[in-house]
């Protein structure tokens, strides 16, 4: 039987080819197989023939929403393949006037969760290029030189996907849902609470102030300020970033100082605090392996605690940090000090 | 750029704690500073001319004044700048008095701090941008919130000056607390006799529109242009049809405790607040009406000959524009059941002063007779206890309620006059009689036989005799010994308190409340009527305990402030408004919901990209609406929003300078 991955791939290819052939869109933005084993990379199909190269599997991690703001996508009709997190980011972009929904055809994929390649390799105990993967209902079957084994999806999926509540984009947000046939969900209705998936947060919370400071110094001081986290982030959508600004320079790009790194990361975390869609791109793209997502996840937990549950890109704006009501406790007032 | 720095001594206020010579010497070395000088009083004419001369002689284009808070003299120096042909916002104040000399004692350290404050101001002014204000029109209609004596007075004064006024009162009649009183001190005029003519005048004045049984639900806008939503509660009685015959009240079968008599009598579910109510039309209290509870009854509608009863009436939201708002929301009296030693609520013959006042009133629950609630008999010996819940840091309010001394003297006089032979004992801490003819009035009360005992009451308890009298145990400070008085009636002078919703209304109006919940004036001495929000003025006890003449004077003061505004016809807009750098703005509009003045909207700009025209959304600020709070500038992620006079560049320069 055809696996769900193959069926979604086929469905994407057919839909894309039809849209391009009918001239309804100028290009289709999706994924294709990368050069490295079990890698998928962004891909633009402009002809029905090229649509055959579109591909879908649990390695299509890259968030596609930020591409839509690029110059080459302007004044074009674009069809775009979107996972749940990507679609949430897109909805934020639309509500923040960053993209024009009218010019888009959104193909929402029934996402099965993403598998970080390094996590798979570690779990398999063999280099990825030696492995053949088969998507079974109970897990992924790995066939390599050491033989064959089946790993449960929980063991290999990204922690972001384990906690994800919106894997498939909402029907109302997309033009078409691409569901595929075959075995449906990889993680069968199991939603792990963020506290379990991101157990590091609790560990860090339990640290004393000095220990925690030391931890973050060690992490953030590795930063080389390549800004990959910002560039990959699907909600970092400002027309001009405050960190690129000159006069006043909020950040001195020339200075390789811990304070500058810390300032950058703390400010960035706050800029996406109530907008983070939890795609995990920031931590994935970091060449230094800084666990940036922990800052965001901690902020999400804190915001939920203080302002109630708010899901960016799902719930209606305004975001909790962009509004203030008379009923809210004045942080400088008597009530707050009690 | 040529910056001049001027360091003020403020007499000894600054000079004693800050080495002004050292600050001046150090200022001379700061970047772009070409001139520095210290002056004894910068705000004086001499000081002003020193600055003026220095601007001419040294061709200064920016001025830093190291002196008191900008709240004191910023406008003084801004006017000087304008007179010298410079933008008023090219002067920067370093507050080395309130922020430095007044709060420190170590001269050496204070001098270091003063230098830092000057350094910061110099760095900031180097990036100052010129700002201008516009003239904005004023809506010449006033809103008065609260229809007590203060509100009525303010409304009448504004209306007499020829401007329309809307008077909003939450009860079904105007009159407020004064309508509940019997007589007024120190002249013993009948309260109603002096109040009702004013109530009628307000109701019939061609420039006054009454909104009774109504509340302010929302306020937006700014001085000269407030937008207010008034919630007109459903009275269930059509005022056009009702002829005030009172048949509905007579027939209504539902009786509830009458709040106007402090619960010591009953009223109906359909009722008028008191006989002289204005407007004199009943309202249906829906919480207590049988028809609204069960859908049955409907007696009032049956007996009404004009068909004025309208059960289907709905609350109505009315939106109006106003140029000025007078807040006259008054007070509540604290029910003293939290002070167990006075046995209020435990013994029926322990009552509050207002309950006694209602008994004394001819239209009150006892038609003017004073009785003991326990047995209906006339009391022979009455004990008055002062400062119940006032001047009490532990279990009450720390402040003095101000009127109790006088109204208690009044009560003893009235009792003595109406019911000769009544013994009045007054337990007091101090008798405060500041006010015209007040001391004489108090003297008269003592001469007429009121017995004043200086000391506090420790316990009020049932005596347990056949008459069910009350034993008051206290301390007489003059005799230095414990005293016990067997009383027929105990009267507690309870504390005046701010309205429970004062803070909510203050939040809508943008004015603050003090520790005790009373509204804060703009300046304790020199601006006692204004608030921090321009165009919002205070009248009466909502600002703090006051007697009637004080409340009335303040109301007239508030009215004059509104009239001045209307006479001018224009207000200067705030120059320090938010500004959008459109090139940086992403048009995300996150700034829009955070703006409390609804000053931000989205606009489309057309720009050329690679030779092609493209439309793009950006935020734009309505400078007339913006009040310069800076919430948007703090929120903007890309730094496209800036606040005039406090730009990011200026603030960064301040931080960098330290």
Q: Where are the domains of chain B?
A: 3-125, 142-233+315-330+499-570, 247-303, 332-497, 578-657
Name residues of chain B where pLDDT drops below 70: none
What ipTM was assigned to the predicted interfaces of this complex? 0.85
List chain A residues with CB under 8 Å of B585. Answer: 239
Across the interface, do B586 and A237 touch by the CB < 8 Å criterion? yes
Residues of A with CB under 8 A from a CB of B: 71, 74-75, 96-98, 237-242, 245, 247-250, 271, 317-319, 321-324, 326
Segment A150-161 shows an average pLDDT of 87
Contacts of A147 (CB under 8 A, 6+ apart): none
Class of domain B3-125: alpha beta
What is the 8-class DSSP label of residue B309?
B
- Sequence ranges of the domains in chain A: 4-178, 194-320
- CA A99 to chain B, closest CA, distance in angstroms equals 10
Unique residue bearing structure tokens 């509940």: B180
Q: Which two tokens stand for residue A7?
A: 């069926």
For chain A, the average pLDDT equals: 87
Q: Which helix (H) or strand (E) holds B183?
A: strand B183-184
Across the interface, do B614 and A326 touch by the CB < 8 Å criterion? no
Q: How far apart are the C-alpha atoms of A104 and A93, rounded to whole Å?
A: 12
Segment A312-336 shows an average pLDDT of 72
- CA A215 to chain B, closest CA, distance in angstroms equals 27
Q: How far apart are the C-alpha atoms of B629 and B622, rounded to whole Å?
A: 13
- Which band of pLDDT confidence, cut at 50, 70 and 90, is reported for residue A183? low
Query: Helices A199-206 and A293-307 sit at what angle, rounded to 10 degrees?
Result: 80
List chain B residues with CB under 8 Å of A74. Answer: 609, 614
Q: How far apart are the C-alpha atoms of A178 and A166, rounded to whole Å?
A: 15
Rounded to 5 degrees, φ, ψ at B447 are: -65, -30
Q: Which two tokens stand for residue B437?
A: 């003819």
pLDDT, position B626: 86
pLDDT, position A36: 92
Mind listing the pLDDT tens digit for each residue in A119-153? 999 998 889 999 999 888 788 889 988 889 998 88
Across the interface, do A248 and B589 touch by the CB < 8 Å criterion? no
Q: Which of B507, B638, B653 sits opposite A239 (nearest CB)?
A: B638
Name the 3-class secondary structure at A80.
strand
Q: How far apart are the C-alpha atoms of B228 and B459, rounded to whole Å?
A: 49
10 Å CB burial of residue B517 (0-12, 13-18, 19+) is: middle
Residues B332-497, CATH architecture = 3-Layer(bba) Sandwich (3.50)
pLDDT, position A328: 67
The CATH code belonging to domain B578-657 is: 3.30.70.3270
pLDDT, position B243: 92
List chain A residues with CB under 8 Å of B648. Answer: 248
pLDDT, position A146: 84
Q: Which of A97, A242, A248 sits opposite B638 (nearest CB)?
A: A242
- CA B518 to chain A, closest CA, distance in angstroms equals 15
Segment A292-313 shows an average pLDDT of 87
Residues of B with CB under 8 A from a CB of A: 504, 507-508, 583-590, 593-594, 596, 602, 609-610, 612, 614, 617, 631, 635, 637-640, 648-649, 652-653
Q: Is B359 within 8 Å of B468 (Cβ atoms)?
A: no
pLDDT, position A117: 92
pLDDT, position B310: 95
Contacts of A204 (CB under 8 A, 6+ apart): A212, A215, A294, A298
Across the interface, do B652 and A323 touch by the CB < 8 Å criterion? no
List chain B residues with CB under 8 Å of A98. Answer: 586-588
Nearest of A317, A280, A314, A306 to residue A295 by alpha carbon: A280
- CA B608 to chain A, closest CA, distance in angstroms equals 13
Query: Helices A258-271 and A293-307 sit at what angle, rounded to 10 degrees?
Result: 50
Mind listing the pLDDT tens digit for each residue in A187-235? 554 567 777 777 788 889 899 999 999 999 899 889 988 999 999 999 9
Where is mean pLDDT largest: A44-48, A177-181, A188-192, B391-395? A44-48
Q: How far apart are the C-alpha atoms of A64 and B359, rounded to whole Å?
A: 79
pLDDT, position B404: 96
Across the interface, do B586 and A74 touch by the CB < 8 Å criterion? no
Segment A18-39 shows an average pLDDT of 95
- CA B588 to chain A, closest CA, distance in angstroms equals 4
Q: How far apart are the C-alpha atoms of A197 and A207, rounded to whole Å?
A: 19
Q: Which of B504, B586, B631 sits opposite A96 (nearest CB)?
A: B586
State which residue of chain A sits closest to B653, comparing Cα positions: A248
Q: Which of A271, A319, A326 sits opposite B504 (nearest CB)?
A: A326
State which residue of chain B sits closest to A75, comparing Cα positions: B614
Query: Does A307 score more than 90 pLDDT?
Result: no
Across the interface, do B586 and A317 touch by the CB < 8 Å criterion? no
SS (HEC) of B231-254: EECCCCECCCCCCCCCHHHHHCCC
Query: Helices A209-220 and A258-271 sit at what angle, rounded to 10 degrees?
Result: 100
List chain B residues with CB under 8 Å of A317. Answer: 593
State which residue of chain A sits closest to B510, comparing Cα positions: A326
Contacts of B218 (CB under 8 A, 6+ apart): B228, B229, B508
**Burial code of A164-183, b = ≥16 C-beta within 10 A, e = fewer?**
bebbbbeeebbeebbebeeb
Q: How far apart are the C-alpha atoms of B129 and B24, rounded to whole Å?
A: 25
State which residue of chain B sits closest to A237, comparing Cα positions: B586
pLDDT, position A334: 55
Rounded to 5 degrees, φ, ψ at A96 are: -100, 20
List chain A residues with CB under 8 Å of B583. Answer: 240
pTM (2 decimals)?
Answer: 0.74
Residues B142-233+315-330+499-570, CATH architecture = 3-Layer(bba) Sandwich (3.50)
Across the interface, do B640 and A245 touch by the CB < 8 Å criterion? no
pLDDT, position B598: 82
pLDDT, position A325: 65
Same fold, B142-233+315-330+499-570 and B332-497: yes
Q: What percent of chain A has pLDDT over 70?
A: 91
Q: Which of A74, A97, A247 sits opposite B617 (nearest CB)?
A: A97
List chain B residues with CB under 8 Å of A238. Answer: 586, 588, 637-638
Across the interface, do B637 and A97 touch by the CB < 8 Å criterion? no
Determine the residue among B505, B509, B592, B637 to mutate to test chain A binding: the one whose Cβ has the most chain A Cβ atoms within 10 Å. B637
């Amino acid at each position: 039987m055809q696996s769900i991955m193959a069926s979604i791939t086929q469905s994407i290819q057919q839909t894309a080819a039809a849209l391009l052939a009918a001239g309804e869109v100028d290009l289709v933005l999706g994924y294709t197989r990368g050069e490295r084993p079990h890698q998928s990379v962004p891909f633009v199909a402009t002809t029905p023939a090229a649509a055959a190269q579109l591909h879908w599997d649990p390695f299509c991690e890259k968030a596609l929403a930020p591409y839509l703001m690029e110059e080459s996508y302007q004044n074009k009709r674009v069809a775009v393949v979107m996972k749940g997190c990507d679609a949430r980011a897109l909805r934020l972009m639309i509500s923040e006037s960053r993209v024009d929904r009218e010019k888009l055809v959104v193909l929402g994929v029934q996402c099965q969760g993403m598998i970080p390649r390094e996590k798979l390799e570690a779990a398999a105990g063999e280099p990825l290029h030696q492995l053949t993967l088969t998507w079974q209902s109970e897990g992924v079957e790995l066939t390599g030189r050491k033989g064959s084994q089946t790993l449960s999806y929980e063991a290999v999926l990204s922690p972001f996907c384990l906690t994800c509540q919106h894997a498939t984009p909402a029907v109302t947000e997309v033009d078409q849902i691409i569901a595929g046939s075959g075995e449906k969900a990889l993680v069968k209705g199991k939603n792990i609470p963020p506290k379990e998936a991101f157990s590091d947060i609790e560990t860090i919370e339990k640290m004393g102030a000095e220990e925690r400071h030391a931890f973050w110094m060690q992490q953030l001081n590795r930063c080389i300020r390549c800004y990959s986290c910002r560039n990959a982030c699907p909600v970092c959508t400002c027309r001009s970033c405050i960190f690129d600004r000159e006069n006043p320079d909020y950040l001195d790009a020339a200075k390789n100082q811990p304070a500058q790194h810390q300032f950058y990361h703390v400010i960035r975390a706050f800029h996406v605090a109530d907008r983070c869609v939890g795609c995990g791109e920031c931590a994935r793209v970091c060449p230094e392996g800084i666990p940036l997502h922990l800052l965001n996840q901690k902020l999400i937990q804190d915001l939920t605690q203080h302002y109630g549950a708010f899901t960016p890109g799902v719930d209606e704006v305004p975001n909790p940090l962009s509004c203030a009501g008379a009923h809210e406790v004045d942080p400088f007032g008597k009530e707050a000090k009690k | 750029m040529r910056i001049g720095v001027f360091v003020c001594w403020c007499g000894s206020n600054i000079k004693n704690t800050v080495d002004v010579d050292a600050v001046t010497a150090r200022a001379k070395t700061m970047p772009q500073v070409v001139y520095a000088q210290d002056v004894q009083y910068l705000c004086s004419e001499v000081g002003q001319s020193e600055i003026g001369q220095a601007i001419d002689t040294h061709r200064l284009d920016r001025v830093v004044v190291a002196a008191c808070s900008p709240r004191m003299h910023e406008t003084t120096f801004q006017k000087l700048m304008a007179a010298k042909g410079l933008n008023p916002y090219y002067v920067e104040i370093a507050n080395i008095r309130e922020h430095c000399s007044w709060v420190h004692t170590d001269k050496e350290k204070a001098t270091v701090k003063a230098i830092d404050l000057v350094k910061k101001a110099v760095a900031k002014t180097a990036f100052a941008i010129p700002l201008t204000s516009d003239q904005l029109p004023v809506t010449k209609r006033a809103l008065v919130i609260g229809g007590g004596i203060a509100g009525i007075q303010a409304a009448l004064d504004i209306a007499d000056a020829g401007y329309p006024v809307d008077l909003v009162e939450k009860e079904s009649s105007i009159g407020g607390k004064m309508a509940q009183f019997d007589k007024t001190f120190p002249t013993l005029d009948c309260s109603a006799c002096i109040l009702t003519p004013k109530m009628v005048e307000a109701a019939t004045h061609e420039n006054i529109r009454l909104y009774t049984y109504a509340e302010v639900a929302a306020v937006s806008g700014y001085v000269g242009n407030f937008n207010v939503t008034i919630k007109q509660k459903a009275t269930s009685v059509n005022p056009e049809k009702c002829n005030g015959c009172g048949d509905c009240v007579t027939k209504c079968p539902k009786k509830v405790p009458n709040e106007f008599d402090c619960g010591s009598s009953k009223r109906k579910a359909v009722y008028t607040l008191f006989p002289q109510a204005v407007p004199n039309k009943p309202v249906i209290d829906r919480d207590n009406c049988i028809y609204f509870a069960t859908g049955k009854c409907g007696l009032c509608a049956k007996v009404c000959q004009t068909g004025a009863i309208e059960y289907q009436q709905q609350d109505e939201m009315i939106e109006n524009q106003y140029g000025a708002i007078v807040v006259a929301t008054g007070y509540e009296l604290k029910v003293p059941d939290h002070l167990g030693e006075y046995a209020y609520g435990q013994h029926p013959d322990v009552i509050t002063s207002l309950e006694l006042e209602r008994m004394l009133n001819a239209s009150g629950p006892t038609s003017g007779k004073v009785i003991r609630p326990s047995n209906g008999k006339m009391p022979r010996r009455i004990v008055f206890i002062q400062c119940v819940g006032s001047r009490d840091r532990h279990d009450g309010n720390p402040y003095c309620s101000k009127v109790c001394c006088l109204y208690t003297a009044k009560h003893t006089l009235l009792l003595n006059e109406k019911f000769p032979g009544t013994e009045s004992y007054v337990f007091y801490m101090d008798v405060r009689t500041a006010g015209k003819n007040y001391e004489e009035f108090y003297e008269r009360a003592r001469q007429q036989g009121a017995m004043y005992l200086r000391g506090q009451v420790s316990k009020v308890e049932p005596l347990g005799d056949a008459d069910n009298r009350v034993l008051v145990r206290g301390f007489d400070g003059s005799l230095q010994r414990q005293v016990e008085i067997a009383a027929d009636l105990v009267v507690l002078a309870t504390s005046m308190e701010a309205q429970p919703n004062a803070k909510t209304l203050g939040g809508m109006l943008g004015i603050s409340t003090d520790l005790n919940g009373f509204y804060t004036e703009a300046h304790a001495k020199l601006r006692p009527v204004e608030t921090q929000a321009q165009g919002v003025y205070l009248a009466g006890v909502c600002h703090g305990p006051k007697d009637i003449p004080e409340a009335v004077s303040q109301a007239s003061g508030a009215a004059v402030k509104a009239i001045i505004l209307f006479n001018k016809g224009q207000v200067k807009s705030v120059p320090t408004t938010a500004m959008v750098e459109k090139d940086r703005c992403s048009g995300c509009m996150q700034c829009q919901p955070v703006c409390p003045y609804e000053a931000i909207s989205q606009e489309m700009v057309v720009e050329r990209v690679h030779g092609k025209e493209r439309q793009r959304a950006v935020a734009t600020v309505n400078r007339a609406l913006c009040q310069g709070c800076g919430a948007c500038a703090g929120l903007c992620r890309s730094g496209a929003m800036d606040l005039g006079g406090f730009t990011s560049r200026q603030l960064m320069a301040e931080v960098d300078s330290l």
